[in-house]
Amino acid sequence: MKYDQSAIREAERRAFELLTLSTMQEKDSNGNLCEVKNRYWVDPIDITMPALLSQELAWTNANTELEFNFSINGPQQAPGVNNNVVIPQNAVYAIYGLRVRFGDGANAANRIYRSFGLTPNDDALYNSIHSMKFEQSDLIDKIDGQSFHDTPDVATATNMLDGMLLINPVRFITGKLGTFLYKIRMLNPINALVMSANATVKVDLRGAFGPAKA
């Protein structure tokens, strides 16, 4: 989905403000809204934005569901294999955008990423539903996979934000989460399709990063 810079700035501003507010609203035991200390608070000088968390999986026809583990126990960056970026323990991250792309190339060092399939069969990825699970709850669900499909006028053209979807509200995560999965579920079987060789699917979470402090 294409966004102008004003939309990006507004999403970044919202994430920054939510990390730097001293208080936030939560429901008490009676279901009433009340002001509480913002447990995600980060000193503004320590925030990095835009920041990136990434997980990458091989793209094959073997599975109709891909699970990207963004918890602290998720796959680390492996030289030549992936370009993963994981959240450190005790860090805080405010997500304002999701990005899904294809990776082309056996070596992660020079892998090229695109927001469209290399073949029509690869585009089966976009006939899907996306969700995100935090601990026991799916706090993001029913996102249309077609939202991430961007095809440029020229196949070699790239844009840093191709394949990105801004989300609302901003979602907070921490490095303490035991379960933090991004899931892509294909709506139809894909086992009869021949996919591109040496292809991966990469999910990026764009947001504001607050590091842990002693």
Q: Kindly state the average pLDDT of the residues 121-145.
A: 90
Ordered by start, the domain boundaries in the chain are: 52-207
The DSSP secondary structure of 143-167, one letter per residue, reads: EEGGGG----SSTT---TTTTEEEE
Q: Which parts of 59-145 are beta strand (E)?
A: 65-69, 92-104, 112-114, 128-134, 137-144
pLDDT at residue 214, rounded to an integer: 57
**pLDDT tens per residue across span 98-112:** 999 999 999 999 999
133 vs 65: which has the higher pLDDT:
65
| Confidence bin at 2 (pLDDT 50/70/90) | confident
Nearest to 208 by CA among 20, 4, 2: 20
**pLDDT tens per residue across span 67-96:** 999 988 899 999 999 999 999 888 999 999
- Residue 155 scores a pLDDT above 70: no
| Confidence bin at 136 (pLDDT 50/70/90) | low
Contact by Cβ (8 Å): 110, 177: no
Which helix (H) or strand (E) segment is 185 a member of? strand 180-186
pLDDT at residue 27, rounded to an integer: 82
**pLDDT tens per residue across span 33-43:** 899 998 889 99
- Residue 210 scores a pLDDT above 60: yes
